[in-house]
Amino acid sequence: MSVKPVGLSFPWPEPPEAGKHIEIAEGVLWIRLPLPMALDHVNIYALDEGDSWTVVDTGFKTKLTVKLWEGLLAGALRGKPVGRVLLTHHHPDHVGMAGWLMERGASLWASRTAWLMSRMLILDVEEEPSEQAKAYWRAAGMDKAIYDKRCSDRPYNFIDACHPLPVGYTRLREGDVLKAGGRSWDVLEGNGHAPEHLTFWSRDDNLVIAGDQIISSISPNIGVYPTEPEADPVGEWIASCEKFEAIARPDHIVLSGHKLPFTGLPFRMRQLRENHVSGLNRLAKFLDTPKTAAECFSPLFKRKIDEGIYGLALVEAVAHLNHLLIEGRVTRERRDDDAWLWSAKG
């Protein structure tokens, strides 16, 4: 049945303070934890199981977050233990405190890819950039001053923001039905921002726990990294948006990993899809003369790209160029300095 899209509304226009909570529905708490970056928070959700809690995502591991978690266990969670952590995806602002909670008795439930990537990246500590990373940066045409600085600096490592993750988890996959918080949830996977990103759709009311797959006022980063330089996350993202748009209802209350809970999901799914389709079209037009990925920020982003967000902009530019290449809309050739030069066909 087709549903006419409607705009977004925000049932809770103000978020809880850091380490505090708002009860979204019976047995469902919205908790906000701080992040030491421009996107300064992550939302987590606690589902009441009676004698314990299921928690969705966990925040960074920092001294402040540990203190806030200790306060949550004694306060908002009423002294009941966290029996289970549901991981939407493997990024450190979501998995960072999972190992800490597991040491206190929680089990971990995640997609296989999210668990493997979390475990691998937390264990993989680099003191200097890999040759693969340097080759990727050169291929993208990274600014020389930024390239030189990155080559001399210690890279960011997951362990810097994540508690060690022990072996052992329960796999969740597309089509599973999860019992949590007095509800049955359909488990649906999205892709693009992170592989096998889990979302949870309640069968008993209108709640959707969406992680970073669906956010009200920002589109999550869709990037290509040195680990898989030929990947097509933009194609996966567009396919995921189409999938969720087909089942979205205007009354769904979407509980995201960042920003505010909202309704109006059909409209937002169309927005998220069209945002990247429009970006691809602008980028293809921009490539009337050959350019590197690092020269392709202006058609994709509406703000100045400074050094603080340069890396995120670069991986997203590469992602959009890769998709245009797969679609057959651009070609590329190597420059003498190893950078790819991208050109629109025709």
Segment 100-154, tens digit of pLDDT? 999 999 999 999 999 999 999 999 999 999 999 999 999 999 999 999 999 999 9
Band (5; pLDDT cuts 50, 70, 90): very low
CA distance 294 to 75: 48
Band (346; pLDDT cuts 50, 70, 90): confident
What is residue 344's three-state secondary structure?
strand
CA distance 32 to 17: 7
Residue type, 4: K
DSSP 150-199: HHHSPPP-GGGTS----S--EE--TT-EEEETTEEEEEEEE-SSSTTEEE
235 touches 326 (CB < 8 A): yes
Band (6; pLDDT cuts 50, 70, 90): low
What is residue 93's three-state secondary structure?
helix
CA distance 102 to 168: 10
For residue 172, pLDDT over 60 is answered with: yes
CA distance 332 to 321: 9
Comparing 104 with 308, which gets the higher pLDDT?
A: 104
Domain 21-126+155-289 grouped into CATH 3.60.15.10: yes
- pLDDT above 70 covers a percentage of the chain that reads 98
For residue 174, pLDDT over 80 is answered with: yes
Q: What is the pTM of this model?
A: 0.95
